Chains A and B, each alone.
Chain A
Amino acid sequence: MARALPPEWEVEVFFANDGLEGLEVIRQGNGEVVFLDLTMPNLDGYGVLETIRKEDLPAMVIVVSGDIQPDAQTRVKNMGAMAFIKKPIDAEKARAILTEYGIMAGGADDH
């Protein structure tokens, strides 16, 4: 994922191994923009989205998943995800989404 990010995008990148770790990073304020996988141990992406909404955490979530079922995309958007990127990640698509939502200007990032 990190390699698919535009190299000129000046952000600090934090990595989390699972959903619980990811939430910690977000709670610490280090997940302004979150690239969220759905299939994860301990707490999956749906659980993360639910918690972000419940706790009203400050995170713009872009789901990055191999789960390309139409239902998965609808669900995560209904749960507050801003965009959906299919795996394997196309660096150009990632750039297009970051530009489209105007978040390339800056911000921290996680996963």
Chain B
Amino acid sequence: MITERVSLTEDQRDCYQEIVNVAMGQAADRLARLLDAYVVLPIPQVNLIEANDLHMAIQGAEDNHAISSVCQGFIGSGIAGEALLLFNDTSFEDLATLMNYSGPLNRYGELELLMDVSSVLIGACIQGIGDQLGIHFNQGHPVVLGQHCQVADIVKSGNHQWNKTLAIEIHYTLEHVNIDCNLLLLFTEDSVAKLNNKIDYLLD
């Protein structure tokens, strides 16, 4: 594996934040229309971190609340990454109400809701980033990483194939209702240099 040193300047970080800001706004708009609710948009966190420190980078990961998680890979123009949605389990009740879901809220019901939300948030966000950078990302199938588990169980699996990762974290919450989730976009170490090139082009 090629491992040239990857780094991130402040200008590049600002530029990533702006791009993510636009993409997450598009995703939030889709979710807001789906749920007929207002999505509170945070400032996205953009960091180049050691893959092993990932669990520390996740906001609220130390809280011991149960989560359910879906991941979905994406690839295009030699840039590859993984989108990870960490959904707070206490959010399902309100989500079911907003989605007019009338079935039983058991593991299967929750899974259905989780897949609906993740396809909107992940799909729109990846597409939004790709559009701005002129990359067409192909998305893999979503994979359920776990239900009713801890953040640590999801991200502390060890056995990472990369050392550094560009981690983008978006903490979505909804106004007036109890729905919150974290969307993490992780880019492989090899992708960062190519992404930085595209960012530098925008900065020129």
List residues of A whose CB falls within 8 A of some B CB.
38-41, 65-72, 87-88
With A39-B21, A87-B21, A87-B22 already in contact, the answer to whether A67 and B41 are too (CB < 8 A) is: yes
Residue of B nearest to A88 (CB): B22
Closest beta carbon of chain A to B128's beta carbon, Å: 9
Residues of A near B21 (CB, < 8 A) are 39, 66, 87
Closest beta carbon of chain A to B135's beta carbon, Å: 15
Can you name 18 A-B residue pairings with CB atoms under 8 Å?
A: A38-B41, A39-B42, A39-B43, A65-B25, A66-B18, A66-B23, A66-B25, A66-B41, A67-B25, A67-B28, A68-B26, A69-B29, A69-B38, A69-B39, A70-B32, A71-B32, A87-B25, A88-B22
Q: Enumerate the 8 nearest inter-chain pairs by beta-carbon distance, A residue then B residue, closest first.
A: A66-B25, A66-B22, A66-B21, A69-B32, A71-B38, A68-B29, A87-B22, A67-B25
Docked Cα-Cα span, A69 to B28, in Å, equals 7
Residues of B near A72 (CB, < 8 A) are 38
Docked Cα-Cα span, A71 to B35, in Å, equals 13
Cross-chain contact B24 with A66 (CB below 8 angstroms): yes
Q: State which size class the interface on B falls in.
A: 10 to 19
List residues of B whose CB falls within 8 A of some A CB.
18, 21-26, 28-29, 32, 38-39, 41-43, 132
Closest beta carbon of chain A to B10's beta carbon, Å: 12
Residues of B near A67 (CB, < 8 A) are 25, 28-29, 41
Closest beta carbon of chain B to A24's beta carbon, Å: 20
Cross-chain contact B18 with A87 (CB below 8 angstroms): yes
Docked Cα-Cα span, A66 to B22, in Å, equals 4
Docked Cα-Cα span, A72 to B33, in Å, equals 12
Residue of A nearest to B175 (CB): A71
Residue of A nearest to B128 (CB): A66
Residues of A near B42 (CB, < 8 A) are 39
Residues of B near A41 (CB, < 8 A) are 43
Residue of B nearest to A75 (CB): B38
Residues of A near B29 (CB, < 8 A) are 67-70
A68-B26, A87-B25, A88-B22 known; 14 new pairs, CB 8 Å cut-off, are A39-B43, A40-B43, A41-B43, A66-B18, A66-B23, A66-B24, A66-B26, A66-B41, A67-B29, A67-B41, A68-B29, A69-B29, A69-B38, A70-B32
Residues of B near A65 (CB, < 8 A) are 25
Residues of A near B25 (CB, < 8 A) are 65-69, 87
Residue of A nearest to B40 (CB): A67
Residue of A nearest to B31 (CB): A69
Closest beta carbon of chain A to B164's beta carbon, Å: 25
Closest beta carbon of chain A to B194's beta carbon, Å: 21
Residue of A nearest to B202 (CB): A88
Residues of B near A68 (CB, < 8 A) are 25-26, 29
Residues of B near A88 (CB, < 8 A) are 22, 132
Residues of B near A71 (CB, < 8 A) are 32, 38
